[in-house]
Amino acid sequence: METREHSMQFAGGILGQHRHICAFFNSVEEEHRVLRSFIKDGFDGGERAFHIVDPDQVKEHLSWLGETGINVERAMGTGQLRVCPWQEAYLREDRFDQDAMLAYIERALQSGAAGGYPLTRLLAHMEWAVLDKQGVEDLLEYETRLNYVLPKYEDPVICTYDLTKTRCTMAIDIMRTHPVVIMGGLLHENPFFVPPDQFLREIRERQPSRKGAMAS
């Protein structure tokens, strides 16, 4: 991979030029094992962590962060760590608005730089997309449009997907919207990535109703 100024190594690979990553896991335990160094190395390097998680898993997520050696209370107090439930991000007003979320991601990354952090490592749990909520059918369009936004920043953004809740056909499409993928616990440049202009044309040629496509 071509590297940027802030290259980083985790999940058996080196993250280079592209910073939009999809990560597929079969369990929370696998996610924690694979992403532990991604999280901890960022903290040790004085970077910011911005995590968007299932509201029912916030307590468990904070506990795991503590187990990695992070002083969670202190990090949240200083602003180095922010953990947000889906309702404050993807599901504001109980629906998914892709335009609002794209703006939200930009604000999250910009606020890290404004706070003096060299990078923000953003982790987003994506299981909200299996819920019966207005707008979730726009997931793929949102993911591919992120590829217009993220090249402006050095910050890595990892979108995690639970393979036990994601249909194979949807997982393939999700992978095609990310230039980097973590599969089988390993980080790879994604040879199946489709540029956003091309993928948006493909989406719009499909049937308009995609709601619930992720659900198994």
pLDDT above 70 covers a percentage of the chain that reads 93
CATH of the domain at 157: 3.40.50.300
Can you give the pLDDT at residue 7? Answer: 75
Q: What is the 3-state secondary structure (H, E, C) of 73-91?
A: HHHHHHCCEEEEEHHHCCC
Q: Which helix (H) or strand (E) holds 114?
A: helix 98-114
pLDDT of 176 > 70? The answer is: yes
For residue 2, pLDDT beyond 50: no
Residue 133 domain-assigned?
A: yes
Mean of per-residue pLDDT scores for the chain: 93
For residue 47, which of 79, 11, 83 has the smallest C-alpha distance? 79
Is residue 214, in this structure, part of any structural domain at all? no
pLDDT in tens, 49-78: 999 999 999 999 999 999 999 999 999 999
Closest CA to 48 of 108, 8, 107, 89: 108
Residue 15 belongs to a domain: yes
212 lies in some domain = no
Of the listed ranges 20-24, 77-81, 206-210, the least confidently predicted one is: 206-210
Specify if 46 maps to a domain.
yes
pLDDT in tens, 8-65: 899 999 998 999 999 999 999 999 999 999 999 999 999 999 999 999 999 999 999 9
pLDDT band at 211 (very low <50, low <70, confident <90, very high): very low
Query: What confidence category does residue 216 fall into, taking pLDDT thresholds of 50, 70 and 90?
Result: very low
Is the pTM higher than 0.85? The answer reads yes
Tell me the per-residue pLDDT of 130-164, one tens digit each, with 9 for 90 and over.
999 999 999 999 999 999 999 999 999 999 999 99
Is 215 part of any domain?
no
Is position 114 within any domain? yes
Tell me how far apart the alpha carbons of residues 25 and 183 are, in angstroms, rounded to a whole number.
Answer: 7
Task: Provide the number of structural domains found in the chain.
Answer: 1
Tokens of 125: 């749990």
Domain residue limits at 97: 8-171+181-205
Whether pLDDT at 4 is above 60: no
Evaluate whether residue 91 is within a structural domain. Answer: yes
